[in-house]
Structure 1
Amino acid sequence: MTTEFKTDTVKVSVEGKVATVELNRPESLNALDLEMIRGLAWNLKELCISDEVEIVLLKGAGRAFSSGGDIKTMLAGSNESDFYGIMESINELVTTLYSMPKLTISAINGAAAGLGFSLALATDYIMADPGSKLAMNFIGIGLIPDGGGHFFMKQRLGETKAKHHIWEGKPMTAAQALEIGLIDEVTEGDLNEAIAIKLEEWQQKPLQAMIKTKKIYAEENRTSLLKFLELEKYAQYKMRQTEDHKEGIQAFLEKRKPHFTGK
């Protein structure tokens, strides 16, 4: 029996066949802390076993989808067991989101950066407001993508282009992300109206057939995703010990350009 995990940082509402899962830390641009990560994983698992829900919409409250992992969490001690516990929670969330037997949509407004962008990439369909900014920007603080970022970027871009975008870590407009295939739609007009149109369109289709196709791909790719997540977990721990990461965090806090030395 699943233990209930209630949190104010994740809001879930269900209307007919559609469940809306909202990241709800608007004061921090929905930065992902451990409470939110675990709350998301628990709620998504509950939706997996729902007989009514067939589509899951992931969105952010306020001015952003998600600005990424919470910097305070990164700074909160360097205990190895604590870090690996956090990474295991991230990996559980991503695996659940990617493989859940529902159709999933990310609706991006404002920023979708770092781990927040990895989450969006784990969904089946990504739509973004024209004014949104998207970035796989771990490199800016001397880290590597986690949350399956390597896996999802490779899936959408191929290995070589994925490497280049990860190494650059530059923010992209929604139009730029669409052009290279990282997202699926740049909305025209109001984001909520565009979401309603997409949901209506999908609900007129044979959803069980769509879900079965999704499950086939997810099952075939599961071993690869799990391997990427394990590699990211151990590599990220090593990156956290580097001088470049410490400099990246300090520069972020001081709002200045980092001076990396490659150490």
Structure 2
Amino acid sequence: MNTEATSTTKTVIVTIKERVAVVALNRPESFNALNQELVKDLTVALKEVSQNEAVDIVVLKGNGRGFSSGGDIKMMLNSTNKADLGDLLSEVSSLIQTLYFMPKLTISAIHGAAAGLGLSMALATDYVIAEASSKIAMNFIGIALVPDGGGHYFLERRLGEVGAKHLIWEGKVMKAPEALEKKVIDAVAEGSLEEAVENKVQAWLNSPIQAMIETKKILAEKNRTLLMNVLESEKIAQSKMRQTQDHQEGIKAFVEKRKPNFIGK
């Protein structure tokens, strides 16, 4: 396919080839940890792609050694301001809404880690495919937080209420085959991730894709109020959890590479 357009910021690279846009997170030095700059840049890029009538399919991926390690822990250590946190969570909500309601078919292509907010973001797409060696985790509990980015909504839709609670509370790191077995993701690449993604893209391109997009829009609109309510509830809960002693202990233990000593406060 011939390249039609490429746009680049410091943290996001968008390449459009024929009817497919590849949106790449580009903070490889931090395993594409989602800081405020990346969240903002990614939202802008996705909104631009959403408005591009020449694009039917969007592939979300990460540059470097992983898809996304989640929220930026260093940013959490350096910021305890409630207003700043509220702004960031509002921006995260905008990102997730832009991705989930996008009038395109969307694929998350996971290699390396997809953890925390990175996993929530992946689950906001229509199809999640991962390399067999990928590490999949909704591991907010490890730093005494609750999932954000719609994590509760997306996991409950896939696993049911009980399954979602147990996965969130355990915070287990899963290899891709286990994540597939639990229905957290949709497919594991049998060969290379690039080949698996290309096969899925071509299958969709050879389908009546506008009818598929209309089905997506109908179901997404049906669930709009629920997702918005979950995002707001997560924002309130996360702001509360960020003030706990357990969270401060959790992020310090993470940076110091030791087991946290939680006290339930």
Q: Please, what TM-score do these two structures have when normalized by structure 2? A: 0.96
For 2:133 and 2:80, how far apart are their aligned partners in 1? 36
> Is 1:62 matched up with 2:59?
no
Match of 2:79 in 1: 77
Q: Deviations over 1:26-46 (max 9, x none)?
A: 111110111110011101111
Q: Deviations over 1:66-92 (max 9, x none)?
A: 000111221222111111000000000
Contact between 1:6 and 1:39, CA under 8 Å: does it hold in 2?
no
- How many pairs does the alignment contain? 259
For 1:6 and 1:181, how far apart are their aligned partners in 2? 34
Contact between 1:7 and 1:36, CA under 8 Å: does it hold in 2?
no
SS at match of 1:158: helix
For 2:76 and 2:231, how far apart are their aligned partners in 1? 18
Runs of 4+ in 1 over 2 A off after TM superposition: none
For 1:71 and 1:249, how far apart are their aligned partners in 2? 7
For 1:197 and 1:111, how far apart are their aligned partners in 2? 22
Identity among equivalent positions (%) equals 59
Contact between 2:150 and 2:230, CA under 8 Å: does it hold in 1?
yes
Match of 1:165 among 167, 178, 194: 167
Aligned amino acid, residue 71 of structure 1: I
Name structure 2 gaps, 5 residues minimum.
1-6
For 2:224 and 2:77, how far apart are their aligned partners in 1? 31
SS at match of 2:223: helix
User: How many angstroms does 1:250 deviate by?
Assistant: 1.0
Q: Deviations over 1:212-232 (max 9, x none)?
A: 000011101110000000000
Contact between 1:12 and 1:20, CA under 8 Å: does it hold in 2?
yes
Contact between 1:29 and 1:64, CA under 8 Å: does it hold in 2?
yes
Q: Please, what TM-score do these two structures have when normalized by structure 1? A: 0.97
Q: 1:113-152, aligned counterparts within 5 Å?
A: 113-152=115-154
Q: Deviations over 1:73-121 (max 9, x none)?
A: 2122211111100000000000110000000000000000000000000
Match of 2:232 in 1: 230
Aligned amino acid, residue 56 of structure 1: V
Match of 2:113 in 1: 111
Q: Deviations over 1:106-164 (max 9, x none)?
A: 00000000000000000000000001010000000000000000000101000011000
For 2:224 and 2:18, how far apart are their aligned partners in 1? 29
> Is 1:185 matched up with 2:196?
no
Aligned amino acid, residue 115 of structure 2: A
Contact between 1:135 and 1:169, CA under 8 Å: does it hold in 2?
yes
For 2:251 and 2:130, how far apart are their aligned partners in 1? 28
Match of 2:4 in 1: none
SS at match of 1:166: helix
Name structure 1 gaps, 5 residues minimum.
none
> Is 1:239 matched up with 2:237?
no
